[in-house]
């Protein structure tokens, strides 16, 4: 049975959409605040006239913590967390374990094997024994000791910058939750919903498929529709 073609209906609905620039600006501001981009949020506030919903000082503290993790300085991150909220890591032992796990990984990245082994035995082994869920994570990290060059091992992803980013994001989310602030950018959630919806439609219907969220380009539509989408994208950015 042929798939229904929804292109014409979709193009018509696209032309009927009227999104207020203020709403788009609020989405962008929410993303910048949640992710901790203080300088960008301040500049965007000046350009758009959208007032930040939270104090910039708190964003700066959260940004410094995130940056410490992203550069691999876990000790500095923990010190800053304790200054910001002394109860946070005590209340979330799994999060503290993640930070200590990242600290172990940083020793391995620097080639400090004796220090890494001592740290694992003194700081992580007991936590792993007490919590089976953490033990699995610890064993996976400890497996890096078995390779002369961990960066080429099957667990190499633990050694790359993306692992730091994952740890930093988990920590950022925990801080936001502790401060009773939204933990996920609405813009990111909308994009995930978009991609999920496209996956649900794939194989069921022919429809305009968004191929780039940067310029709102679409596949399977007339050039005029792409121009309309791009025009709406530009209007939202420049009005």
3-state SS, residue 215: coil
> Where do the domains of the chain lie?
7-35+185-238, 56-178
What's the pLDDT score for residue 236? 46
To the question of pTM greater than 0.85 for the whole model, the response is no
In this predicted structure, the answer to whether residue 202 has a pLDDT above a threshold of 80 is: yes
Which of 78-87, 124-133, 175-184 is the most confident on average? 78-87
In sequence order, what are the beta bridge partners of 206?
5
> In this structure, what is the dihedral angle of CA atoms 137, 67, 58, 101, given to the nearest 10 degrees?
20
Q: For residue 39, what are the CA distances in angstroms to 46, 118, 127, 202, 211?
A: 11, 40, 38, 40, 30
Tell me the average pLDDT of the chain: 82
Whole-angstrom distance, CA of residue 24 vs CA of residue 40: 16
What's the pLDDT score for residue 220? 63
What's the pLDDT score for residue 99? 95
Cα–Cα nearest to 33, from 67, 56, 64, 49? 56
Q: pLDDT tens digit string along 214-229?
A: 777 777 655 444 444 4
Q: Please name the residue ranges forming H helices in 143-217.
A: 161-178, 186-201
Q: pLDDT tens digit string along 137-173?
A: 888 888 888 887 877 888 888 998 999 999 999 999 9
Q: What is the mean pLDDT of residues 35-54?
A: 83
- The larger pLDDT score, comparing residue 110 to residue 10, is at 110
Which of 23-27, 110-114, 196-200 is the most confident on average? 110-114
């Amino acid at each position: 049975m042929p798939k229904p073609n929804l292109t014409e209906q979709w193009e018509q609905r696209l032309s009927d959409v009227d999104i207020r620039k203020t709403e788009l600006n609020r989405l962008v501001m929410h993303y910048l605040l949640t992710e901790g981009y203080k300088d960008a949020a301040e500049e965007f506030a000046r350009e758009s006239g959208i007032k930040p919903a939270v104090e910039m000082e708190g964003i700066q503290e959260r940004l410094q913590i995130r940056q410490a993790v992203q550069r691999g300085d876990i000790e500095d991150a923990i010190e800053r967390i304790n200054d910001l909220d002394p109860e946070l890591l005590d209340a979330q032992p799994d999060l503290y374990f993640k930070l200590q796990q990242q600290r172990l990984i940083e020793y391995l990245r620097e080639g400090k094997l004796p220090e890494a082994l001592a740290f694992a035995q003194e700081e992580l082994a007991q936590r792993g024994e007490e919590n089976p869920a953490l033990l699995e994570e610890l064993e996976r990290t400890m497996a890096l000791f078995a390779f002369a060059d961990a960066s080429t091992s099957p667990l190499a992803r633990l050694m790359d910058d993306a692992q730091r980013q994952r740890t930093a994001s988990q920590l950022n989310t925990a801080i936001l939750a502790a401060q009773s602030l939204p933990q996920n950018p609405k813009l990111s959630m909308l994009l995930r919903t978009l991609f999920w919806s496209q996956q649900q439609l794939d194989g069921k219907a022919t429809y305009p498929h968004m191929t780039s969220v940067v310029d709102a380009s679409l596949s399977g539509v007339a050039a005029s529709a792409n121009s309309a989408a791009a025009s709406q994208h530009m209007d939202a950015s420049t009005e």
